[in-house]
Every structure is written in C-alpha cells, then in structure tokens.
C-alpha cells in the first residue's frame, strides 16, 4: 500500500479532536486540579503533546502545513522549537542514515573515535543514559545539552532557519509561561512537569533503532496496546511508521495487524511483546553500547 493510499482526507477529525482535548486537559491540570495531581497530569499531557507534534510534522490533521503548524504554536515542553524538531526529524526519516552518529539527528550512538576521547565522567553519564532508567531520569538533560550545543554552533554559522525557529519558539514559550503564571500552579512545578513529559517520551525513543548492517532491520516493533502505546500514538509500531510515514497514528495498528509477518521479516524479528518486557530487560541494564558497534574505529 502506498503513501498516497494512506494520505489523510481534508481534515483528520480524530487527530484534530485529540489535539483540542490535549490542550483542554492541560488547562484543567493547570487551573483546577490539586498541585501534585495537576503537575503529574500536566507531565503526561506534555508527553502526549510531544507525540501530537510528531503527527503534525508528518502532515496531520490538515492538508495545509501552515494550519498544522499553528496547532503546535504553544511549545508545552518549553525545550524544542517545533521547526527544529520538524526539520531534524524529517532528516531522521532518511532511513539509509539510521543510527549514523553524524547524519542521523536522532542517533544515540557515538563514533568510537569520539567515544574514546571523552573524559571518564562523560562516558559514565553516557553509559547511564543507555539504560532505560537513565534515559528517563537524565536523558532529557543530556539530550538537551547536545541539542543546544548543535543549535548554537549552527546559529553562529548563520543558519537562518535556526534563528527563525528559536524566535518563534521563544514567543510561544512566553505565552505558555504567562498561562502558567496566571494559574495556581507555580512555575517551578510546571518545569518539573515539562521534565517529566520529556522523560516519558524517552521511553519511546529508547530502542526505536539498532545498529544493523541491513537498513531495513534497524527499526523496532513493540507489540504494546496499552496506555504507553496510546501516549506515543502507536509509534511503538515504529517500522510501520517508517514504512508509511504519511499514515495517521490511528491507522498503524490495522496496518501492522494486516501485514505482521511481512513487517517482522523486513525488520529481522526486532520485536518486543510489550513495554513491560522492555522495562524488565533494560530498566537497569544497557541495551546497546554507546560507541556504534559497526562504525570504523580509527
């Protein structure tokens, strides 16, 4: 089935409704829930908003790119400009570069030569980041630090796309903080919520891709249908998404069900039965080395 066959109609009402519900529930969490519950709920909703942002950059719920991106004008996580996430994630979808330490913007692997030059404390932090618990707890700090380093370098080189993205982001972030300031939730509590949301999203990205000689075998399937699958809008079926990037989130389970054997053949059986299995196997233990195991070590 082609991407054309899977393209959305004029408006994807399911996705549009979920975006509106997400924003509405976020306001409820800020203004009407007790602080502890509200901060926890806001963190979960910030993670859901991140998943919806991923949907939007792939062309949902409208055909109009401008209309789609206006839906994400409020950066609830305060950390990542939409335009930068869009550009870097679409670059990530060049599957031939998946896990490449240089050309895949979402790779968690390092060039072995670079790895060998890192001071011991950085190596320790990277090893901790390669466990699931570490990815949730310290992953947002490490990821943001690397992202900001690259953004600053690009901005200093005169990349106008970076300057524009951050200008728009800062305006949206100010609006978010003004809303929070008008609510009973303290700013410090909201910052904890934002960090929680980023940590939750790290569960999804933890093992989406592996180092493998075959490009088609690098992308995972997690056969989960629970709350995390919904929170991640079915991107646990990640090879289905990479093969059908225009398919909306709510079609992915049917696509997987109809083509399960084909998908598992394509990705060489890179599959987990649930997120429970992922937690049991990798909460305390690294799944992968930090240095890319197939990269030349000069």
The per-residue pLDDT for range 146-186, each reduced to its tens digit, is: 999 999 999 999 999 999 999 999 999 999 999 999 999 99
Task: Using only the alpha carbons of the chain, give its radius of gyration.
Answer: 19
Q: Is residue 255 over pLDDT 70?
A: yes
**pLDDT value for 6:** 43
Q: How confident is residue 50, by pLDDT bands cut at 50, 70 and 90?
A: very high
Average pLDDT over residues 67-91: 95
Let me know: does 272 contact 287? Beta carbons within 8 Å. Answer: no
Q: Is the dihedral of CA 183, 188, 194, 196 positive or negative?
A: negative
How many whole angstroms from its chain centre is CA 155? 23
**pLDDT value for 5:** 40
Task: Dig out the tokens for 276 from the structure.
Answer: 């429970």
Q: pTM here?
A: 0.94
Average pLDDT over residues 83-96: 94
Task: Dig out the tokens for 171 from the structure.
Answer: 């305006």
**pLDDT value for 10:** 82
**pLDDT value for 297:** 76
DSSP structure string for 231-261:
HTTTTTSHHHHHH-TTS-GGGHHHHHHHTHH
**Bridge partners of residue 271, in order along the sequence:** 221
**pLDDT value for 167:** 97
Mean pLDDT across the chain, nearest whole number? Answer: 95
Q: Is residue 77 over pLDDT 50?
A: yes
Q: How confident is residue 298, by pLDDT bands cut at 50, 70 and 90?
A: low
């Amino acid at each position: 089935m082609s991407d054309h066959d899977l393209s959305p109609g004029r408006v994807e009402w399911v996705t549009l409704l979920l975006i509106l519900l997400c924003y509405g529930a976020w306001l409820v969490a800020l203004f009407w829930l007790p602080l502890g519950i509200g901060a926890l709920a806001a963190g979960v909703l910030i993670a859901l908003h991140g998943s919806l942002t991923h949907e939007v950059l792939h062309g949902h719920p409208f055909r109009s790119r401008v209309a789609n991106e206006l839906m994400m004008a409020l950066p609830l996580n305060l950390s990542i400009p939409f335009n930068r996430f869009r550009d870097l994630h679409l670059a990530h979808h060049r599957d031939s570069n998946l896990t490449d330490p240089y050309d895949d913007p979402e790779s968690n692997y390092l060039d072995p030569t670079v790895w060998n030059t890192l001071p011991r404390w950085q190596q320790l932090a990277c090893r901790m980041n390669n466990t699931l618990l570490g990815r949730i707890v310290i992953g947002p700090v490490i990821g943001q630090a690397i992202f900001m380093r690259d953004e600053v370098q690009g901005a200093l080189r005169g990349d106008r796309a970076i300057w524009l993205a951050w200008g728009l982001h800062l305006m949206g972030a100010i609006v978010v903080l003004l809303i929070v300031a008008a609510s009973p939730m303290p700013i410090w509590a909201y910052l904890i919520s934002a960090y929680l949301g980023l940590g939750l999203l790290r569960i999804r990205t933890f093992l989406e891709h592996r180092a493998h000689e075959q490009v088609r075998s690098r992308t995972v399937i997690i056969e989960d249908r629970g709350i995390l699958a919904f929170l991640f809008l079915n991107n646990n079926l990640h090879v289905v998404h990479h093969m059908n990037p225009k398919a909306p989130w709510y079609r992915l389970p049917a696509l997987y069900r109809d083509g399960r054997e084909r998908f598992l053949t394509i990705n060489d059986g890179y599959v987990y039965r649930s997120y429970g299995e992922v937690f049991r196997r990798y909460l305390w233990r690294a799944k992968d080395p930090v240095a890319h195991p197939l990269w030349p070590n000069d």
